[in-house]
Amino acid sequence: MRHSVPSQVRRSLREVADDLAAWRKLRGLTQAQLADRSGVHRDTISRLERGDGGISLENLLRVLRGLGVLESVTRALDPHESDVGRLRSDEQLPQRVRPKRLSGDG
């Protein structure tokens, strides 16, 4: 069963697509050159730049590496780079997270 794409996700897909195209152009690369540099098919670059969903995380990371921005993205996702992550960095992360019971659950 396929779920509809939330509007915030659609908007982010479009923003990431525009940013990837801008990075490629700033680097002076064609889609074919970026594909070759990234080890993906040119159609993958085209789909990313159109904001199509369904591109694997691995292929996205390959393209980010090909653009020379992979480290910036992985650093941005590092929880210790956020205020919350730094505040809670001394806490032991649980191995599993169970859903919290809502009041009124029987």
Domain spans of the chain, in order of start: 7-77
Tens of each residue's pLDDT in the chain, 106 residues: 678 999 999 999 999 999 999 999 999 999 999 999 999 999 999 999 999 999 999 999 999 999 999 999 999 999 888 888 777 777 777 778 888 887 765 5
pLDDT of residue 104: 64
Residue ranges in 51-96 assigned as alpha helix (H): 57-67, 70-77, 83-87
Torsion of CA 69, 71, 77, 78, to 10 degrees: -160
Residue ranges in the chain assigned as alpha helix (H): 7-26, 31-38, 42-50, 57-67, 70-77, 83-87
CATH for 7-77, among 2.130.10.10, 1.20.1260.10, 3.30.70.2740, 1.10.260.40? 1.10.260.40
pLDDT of residue 64: 98
Global confidence as pTM: 0.79
